[in-house]
Structure 1
C-alpha cells in the first residue's frame, strides 16, 4: 500500500468522522458543544474536524496543546477533552486531579498493561520504541537485544536520536523508572560519550538512516510503517529492530481524557467511544501504522509484529508522568 500522509489524513476524516457524527451529533450537556485540545498533529486531526463542522457537529479543536497548558489553566480550562500523544501527559493531569473518571466501557477496552489504574483516561493507539537500521551499514546480527548494547564502540557516531522529542523523553522517563535516577544518568552519560547524532524529529532520524548518514536510529515504529505504506518497502532501505524486555522496547500510548471541569462530559465520552469503535481502530492499523488498542488486527506492513507479540518492559504507564524530572536529567547530562 502506497499512501501519502495527506491521503492518510483524508481517510481519517472519512472513517472517524462517521463514527463521531453518529455519537456526537447533539451538542454537549450545556448546549455549547465540545472543545478538544489536541496534542496530536493537525495534519491528522484537521481534516476530520472540518468534516464534523461541515455536517453541523458542534466541536472545536485547539492544536499543539500540551498538559502544561491545561495545568496552567486548571479548572478554568475551556477544554472538554485532551487527546494526548503520550501517556505521561495524561498522567500529569491525573496527578493534578484534573481528569474525570471515565465509564468502564472506555477504560477497560485495552489490556491492563496499557491503561491507567485510576480509570480517568483511555488509550486509543499504541506505538513501540524501536531501532531503525540500514542493513548496508549495520548487519542485523550485530544489533543488541537491549539499549546497553548501543554503548558498544561499534555504534560510535552511528546512532541518531531526538532528545527534545516527546517520545525520547518518555523513553528516558521509563529508563528512570526502571533503573532509578543514578542508573538512568549512567546510561545517558555513556550513550552521549558514544557520540550519537542529534536530530529534532523521528522522521529526520529515519531519513538519515535510509540515506546511510547514520547506521541506526532510535524512533517509534510507525514512522517506518508510514514510510513503507507511502513508498513501498522496496523503496525504504531501512529495517526495524525490536528490543526485548528493555526500556528501549517501551510501548507507549496516545490517549484521551475528559477534564473534570467540563460541563459536557457525556458528549465528550461519546467522542472517545467513536475513537475506540472498530472502524476508527482499523483506520489506525491500516492507514497510520499505529497499533490499535480496541481491536486485534495486524498492521498492513508485512513482518511487523502484533501488539501482543511485543516484549515491552514491565511498568505502569502512569509512572511516565514526571516529565520535569526527565528534562532536568537530560539538561544535567548535556543531552538537550
Structure 2
C-alpha cells in the first residue's frame, strides 16, 4: 500500500540534515513479526514498486510504502526520530544513509546480511547495506560532438565555453553525493571553486537525471551529468540506434567518475522486526539483484550475478581514494550548493 507524503512533511533537506549531529537517536526497541512493515523509499515508485510486489507475493509480508525524494525522506526521518512509523529506509545514495547513521537512527544489521556485499560498496559499521551500484557519467549530444570531444573530467564544465550548454540536477541526491565526493577527494576550497564556477556558467537546472537525459536526447542541451542506468533504460525502450544522447565515462580517479550505491538501513526502533529484516535480506538476494540488472540496469553487488550487457567492469570505475562512508557530510554539501544559489 502506498502512503502519500504530506506537503508539511517535506521539510528542507539542508536544514534538517544540518541538525543530524544533535539529533537524539531512538533507543532500539524489539518488535515482533506481524506480517507487515513500513518502508520509506527514496527511490522512484516506477522502479521499486514492482520489486516490492514481487517480495510481497513471495513472502506474504505486506509493505506499506511512503515514496519521496531521498533527501526529503532523510530529513523527515531526522524530524520524526523515535516516533517514525518507518522500519526500513531505502535510499538513492550513500550520503543520505551515512547522515542518518551518524545521527544514530539505524540499528546494526546482521553480518549475514552485510557480508553479502563487498567492502567498499556498503557501510563500514554494518548500519546500512549497499544494494546496487550506479556510475556517474556524462551524457552528450552525439549530433553535436564526437566521443573524443567529450570532456574527460567534470572540471571542464567550469570553462565559459560550456555556459548554458549543460544540465545538472542540484536538488537530486545523486548529484549531491557527487559534490560530496568532490569535496572529499579535492578538498573544500577546490569544491567551493568548482561549484561557484559551475553556477556562474548558467547551467540548465533540472529536477532529476531522467529530465537531463531527455533534454540531451532532444538536442536542448549539449551535455549533462547523470547516473548511467537512465540511458540504458531509455535505450531499451526506444532502441540504441534511436538514441541521440550517448554516454561517456569520466577518466578513472576523476570526482565525476564515482560509483555510488543505493542502500537500505533498518531503523533503530525495528531492531528485532523479522519482516523488515527479511526485506533487507531480499534486496541483497539473487532475485532482487537480478531484478535490478534486468529492470533498472544497475550494477549488482553480490557474487554470481552478471552486470547488464554493455557496462564497463565495475572495478574499472571505482576510485580507490574514495570511501563511500565518507559521503556522510551531506549537510555541508547542501550548504555549499545553497551558498552559490544552486538549491
Q: TM-score, normalised by structure 1?
A: 0.85
Verify: 1:80 aligned to 2:80, yes or no: no
The match for 1:289 is 297
Task: Quickly say closer, same or farther: Cα 1:71–1:225, change in 2 above 3 A.
Answer: same
Aligned 1:13-24 pairs, distance under 5 A: none
Verify: 1:98 aligned to 2:105, yes or no: yes
The match for 1:227 is 234
CA positional deviation for 1:335: 2.0
| Aligned pair partner of 2:123 in 116, 122, 134 | 116
| Aligned pair partner of 1:155 in 162, 167, 173 | 162
Count of residue pairs the alignment pairs up:
308
SS at match of 1:319: helix
CA positional deviation for 1:191: 2.0
Q: TM-score, normalised by structure 2?
A: 0.83
Verify: 1:40 aligned to 2:43, yes or no: yes
Separation in 1, partners of 2:320, 2:57: 44
Residues 84-116 of structure 1 deviation map (CA, whole Å, 9 limit, x = unaligned): 111111111110111111111221222211111
CA positional deviation for 1:132: 0.3
The answer to whether the Cα contact below 8 Å between 1:162 and 1:200 also exists between their aligned partners in 2 is yes
Task: Quickly say closer, same or farther: Cα 1:69–1:61, change in 2 above 3 A.
Answer: same
Separation in 2, partners of 1:305, 1:248: 15
Residues 14-63 of structure 1 deviation map (CA, whole Å, 9 limit, x = unaligned): xxxxxxxxxxxxxx725363222211122233344456667842332222
Verify: 1:197 aligned to 2:200, yes or no: no
| Aligned-residue RMSD, C-alpha | 2.1
Separation in 2, partners of 1:282, 1:49: 14
Separation in 1, partners of 2:195, 2:271: 44
Unaligned runs of 5+ in 1: 1-27
Unaligned runs of 5+ in 2: 1-30
Stretch of structure 1 that moved more, 215-224 or 158-167: 158-167
CA positional deviation for 1:152: 3.1
Aligned 1:144-223 pairs, distance under 5 A: 144-223=151-230
The answer to whether the Cα contact below 8 Å between 1:282 and 1:295 also exists between their aligned partners in 2 is no
The match for 2:259 is 251
Stretch of structure 1 that moved more, 168-177 or 60-69: 60-69
